[in-house]
């Protein structure tokens, strides 16, 4: 299995190269040169297999030759050993036609744990075989990626990790899950700006080849292919359990950086019984507008009750753009250049129309988010966090538009409500129960650097912390 850049300048790379580089040197994102598929018999067998076995079967298709089957089993078992539910990503049935896919049973109570508890171990497996110094994980977070990445990488022998988050734009718990980790290989940076500013600084640092090589920069954001790969299994696991004979299955995905729904698209491509994927944005709705008009356009990021989705430019959308443009790297490169220089690009309606039945988008307002939290709690005695609420809102919206259709819905529940007590308090007039380790954050010491949105300051701070280490 080899991988190439969406922009065409970095071709036929190994998984090891893609894992450690994260971002292609031409600025593009790595994708497999081919996607494996499964026979009907193989897919049918997944219905009764535990999550870990499904993950192994899917991931080994991409990793055979890089890791032995036995070693991959050990890494997967270790990665998910600290999840609090035996099924890892269980389905919660709310109604005959509505399931919530609970992705928050990992150590930081967010869906990012599913991939990032494994990603750190994949890095260690690779680097332990090489006579090289430490690599430096550099990433940006709008809320949940950072804490999950830090938990997956803290204390590892071969890695330092630097995470940028927008200052004052995460929940207090999201922030403290990052800034109270005091391991020497961890550096937290709060950027005076938006998540898009953080993400841009990361890309600029990767674009400085001397700096990139000096610190061995690598990525844990969903620009890293291994992140996407690690999320594909739960789409198989869930869809095979929820699919009902003769009824279309639609999957609602709260969407910010587009990595989660992209994993669902690839799962469908590989044979998961999903009929349609629906991205649900919050009021930062550039993706929704793209699916309406075919134009991707930058915009000002506004704060919402779902901060992890407060993104206007979704890094992972470039991989889907590659699909929309018929795998034409030159057109992808041209489009991304237009986004950088003019703030927009457009895709012809005929190209977009080919995917209309596969993927579409809805927009959930702040008021819709709060109403959905309240409605679901009153109907089912089930508490949603504000990100998960956007997905369930999408179910209601789709039923309203397609009221004659008889569909089954899976809505992805991406975080535990305890991470957003202020929103829950405002909406339901009660505070969600906190796991003990979340309550303990209140008394812990924090360590964080606050920087202006300037890549030169970022590089200085990394150099000061990790040069020679």
pLDDT score at 128: 87
Residue 220: pLDDT over 90: no
> Higher confidence at residue 299 or residue 327?
327
Do residues 139 and 257 share a domain? no
pLDDT score at 142: 83
pLDDT score at 458: 98
Residue 202: pLDDT over 90: yes
Q: What is the mean pLDDT of the chain?
A: 94
Terminal-to-terminal C-alpha distance of the chain: 33
Do residues 97 and 140 share a domain? no
Do residues 256 and 203 share a domain? no
Residue 164 lies in a domain: yes
Q: What is the DSSP letter of 417?
A: G
Residue 303: pLDDT over 80: yes
pLDDT score at 175: 95
Do residues 162 and 197 share a domain? yes
Enzyme catalytic residues: 112
Do residues 245 and 266 share a domain? yes
Residue 401 lies in a domain: yes
30-32 and 3-5 strand pairing: antiparallel
Residue 26: pLDDT over 70: yes
| C-alpha dist (Å) from residue 87 to 53, 82, 120 | 11, 12, 21
363, 366, 370, 371 alpha-carbon torsion, rounded to 10°: -60
pLDDT score at 92: 97
- When computed from its CA atoms, the radius of gyration of the chain, rounded to whole angstroms, is 21
Residue 69: pLDDT over 90: yes
Residue 207 lies in a domain: yes
Do residues 409 and 315 share a domain? yes
> Higher confidence at residue 426 or residue 436?
426
Domains of the chain: total: 2
Do residues 174 and 209 share a domain? yes
pLDDT score at 221: 83
| C-alpha dist (Å) from residue 249 to 55, 114, 270, 305 | 21, 23, 16, 28
**For 233-284, what is each residue's pLDDT tens digit?**
999 999 999 998 889 999 999 999 999 999 999 999 999 999 999 999 999 9
**For 80-132, what is each residue's pLDDT tens digit?**
999 999 999 999 999 999 999 999 999 999 999 999 999 999 999 999 888 67
Residue-number span of the structural domain to which 265 is assigned: 85-106+226-428
Query: In 258-365, which residue ranges form alpha helices assigned H by DSSP?
Result: 259-269, 286-293, 317-324, 329-342, 349-353
Residue 445 lies in a domain: yes
pLDDT band per the 50, 70, 90 thresholds, residue 336: very high
Residue 398 lies in a domain: yes
Do residues 265 and 246 share a domain? yes
Residue 245 lies in a domain: yes
pLDDT score at 2: 95
Do residues 90 and 159 share a domain? no
Residue 348, token pair as written in the block: 């012809």
Answer for the pair 137, 154: CB distance below 8 angstroms, yes or no.
no
pTM of the model: 0.92
Average pLDDT over residues 372-401: 97
Task: Report the share of the chain in percent with pLDDT over 70.
Answer: 99
pLDDT score at 469: 65
Do residues 291 and 382 share a domain? yes
Average pLDDT over residues 426-455: 93
Q: How far apart (Å, rounded) are the C-alpha atoms in residues 270 and 235?
A: 11
Residue 133: pLDDT over 80: no
pLDDT score at 292: 94
> Higher confidence at residue 443 or residue 85?
85
Q: How far apart (Å, rounded) are the C-alpha atoms in residues 356 and 348?
A: 13
Type and span of the H or E element at 21: helix 15-21
Do residues 307 and 160 share a domain? no
pLDDT score at 232: 98
Average pLDDT over residues 7-34: 95
Do residues 461 and 314 share a domain? no
Q: How far apart (Å, rounded) are the C-alpha atoms in residues 114 and 459?
A: 30
Q: What angle do CA 185, 190, 195 make, to 5 degrees?
A: 110
Q: How far apart (Å, rounded) are the C-alpha atoms in residues 293 and 349?
A: 8
């Amino acid at each position: 299995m080899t991988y190439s850049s969406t922009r065409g300048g970095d071709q036929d790379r190994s998984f090891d190269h893609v894992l450690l580089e994260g971002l292609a040197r031409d600025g593009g994102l790595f994708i497999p040169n081919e996607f494996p598929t499964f026979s009907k018999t193989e897919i049918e067998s997944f219905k009764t297999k535990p999550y870990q076995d499904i993950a192994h079967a899917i991931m080994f298709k991409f990793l055979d030759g890089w890791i032995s089957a036995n070693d991959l089993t050990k890494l997967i078992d270790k990665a998910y050993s600290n999840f609090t539910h035996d099924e890892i990503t269980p389905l919660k049935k709310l109604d005959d036609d509505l399931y919530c896919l609970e992705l928050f049973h990992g150590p930081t109570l967010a869906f990012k744990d599913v991939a990032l508890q494994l990603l750190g171990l994949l890095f260690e497996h690779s680097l332990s075989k090489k006579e090289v110094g430490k690599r430096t994980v550099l990433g940006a977070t709008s809320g949940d990626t950072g804490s999950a990445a830090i938990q997956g990488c803290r204390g590892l022998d071969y890695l330092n990790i630097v995470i940028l988050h927008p200052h004052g734009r995460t929940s207090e718990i999201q922030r403290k899950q990052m800034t109270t980790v005091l391991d020497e290989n961890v550096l937290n940076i709060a950027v005076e700006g938006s998540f898009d500013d953080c993400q841009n600084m990361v890309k600029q640092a990767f674009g400085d080849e001397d700096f990139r090589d000096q610190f061995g920069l690598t990525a844990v954001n969903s620009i890293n292919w291994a992140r996407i790969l690690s999320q594909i299994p739960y789409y198989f696991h869930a869809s095979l359990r929820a699919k009902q004979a003769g009824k279309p299955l639609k999957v609602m995905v709260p969407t910010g950086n587009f990595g989660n729904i992209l994993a669902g698209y690839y799962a469908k491509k590989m044979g998961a019984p999903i009929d349609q994927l629906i991205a649900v944005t919050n009021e930062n709705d550039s993706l929704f507008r793209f699916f309406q008009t075919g134009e991707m356009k930058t915009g000002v990021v506004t704060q919402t009750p779902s901060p992890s989705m407060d993104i206007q430019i979704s890094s992972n959308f470039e991989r889907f753009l590659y699909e929309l443009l018929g795998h034409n790297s030159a057109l992808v490169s041209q489009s991304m250049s237009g986004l950088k220089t003019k703030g927009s690009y457009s895709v012809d309606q005929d190209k977009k129309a080919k995917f209309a039945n596969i993927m579409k988008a809805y927009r959930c307002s702040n008021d819709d988010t709060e109403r959905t939290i309240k409605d679901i709690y009153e109907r089912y005695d089930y508490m949603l966090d504000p990100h998960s609420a956007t997905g369930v809102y999408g179910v209601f919206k789709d039923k309203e538009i397609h009221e004659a259709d008889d569909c089954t819905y899976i809505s992805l529940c991406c975080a535990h409500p305890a991470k957003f007590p202020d929103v829950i308090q405002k909406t339901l007039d009660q505070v969600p129960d906190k796991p003990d380790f979340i309550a303990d954050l209140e008394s812990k010491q924090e360590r964080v650097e606050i920087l202006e949105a300037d890549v030169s300051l970022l590089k200085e701070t990394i150099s000061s912390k990790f040069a020679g280490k």
